[in-house]
Amino acid sequence: MLFFPFLLPLLGLFAAPTPPQAAPSAASGEKITWSANRPLTWADFKARPQPADQLAALTSATIDAQIGCKDYVFSGQVNAVFVPAESWVRDAKKATPNLLRHEQLHFDITELHARMMRQKLAVAKLDCEHLQPAFRNLSNAAFSAWKREEARYDGETNNGLNEAKQKFWEEQVRQRLALLDKFALPQ
């Protein structure tokens, strides 16, 4: 399962699957930027589930977009980040490697959508005088696509319990990440 904050801190924008709310504070702790060389471990999941939570684990991942203009020249940076202080596993000692693979793929899908956003920013003709509405439209569309794909992933894999569908998704996401390798951040 994935939690969907979407940070756009330079412009003070925030979009979420529920009505807009404040972005998580910097005081919430560390964030792990996605890296092909640094997979998640259960030790990264630092929050505790609430008694009413019925999931085995929850990944909180964010697309963090820092954008702006200097001397009327647009620049932007987009990162997929994992938020340990908001991510949890019910019982790490009993959690299976398959469950961790499922949670990792949530983070990988976040990186996939961060790459797609980097691609769009690379070709977009963003006018610095009208940056906020143009970027808001681009980011809202990107967020909606990400949210839909994450929900479809959980639904089709039954939160990772359908092993055949889980493997299918892992292969598809791996291939799609490779197609967008040009938009990956340097490792």
DSSP 18: S
Rg of the Cα atoms in the chain: 17
Helix-strand-coil percent breakdown of the chain, rounded to 5? 45, 20, 35
Average pLDDT over residues 68-96: 92
pLDDT of residue 28: 56
Q: pLDDT tier at 89 (50, 70, 90 boundaries)?
A: very high
Contact assessment for residue 89 and residue 106, using Cβ atoms and an 8 Å cutoff: no
In the three-class reduction of DSSP (H, G, I as helix; E, B as strand; rest coil), residue 70 is classed as strand
Closest CA to 50 of 1, 99, 16: 1
For the stretch 11-48, pLDDT in tens is: 222 222 322 233 444 445 799 999 999 999 999 999 99
What digits encode the pLDDT tens for the residues 103-126? 999 999 999 999 999 999 988 888
Residue-number span of the structural domain to which 169 is assigned: 2-183
The total of structural domains in the chain comes to 1
The percent of residues above 90 in pLDDT, for the chain, comes to 67
Query: Residue 1 pLDDT more than 80?
Result: no
Share of the chain above pLDDT 70, in %: 85
Please say if the pLDDT value at position 9 is more than 80.
Answer: no
Q: How far apart are CA 5 and CA 12, in angstroms?
A: 13
Q: If we measure between CA atoms, which residue out of 158, 152, 186 comes closest to residue 172?
A: 152
Check residues 137 and 8 and name the one with the higher pLDDT: 137
CB neighbour list of residue 146: distance below 8 Å, 6 or more residues apart? 4, 6, 63, 109, 110, 113
pTM over 0.75: yes
d(CA 109, CA 142): 12
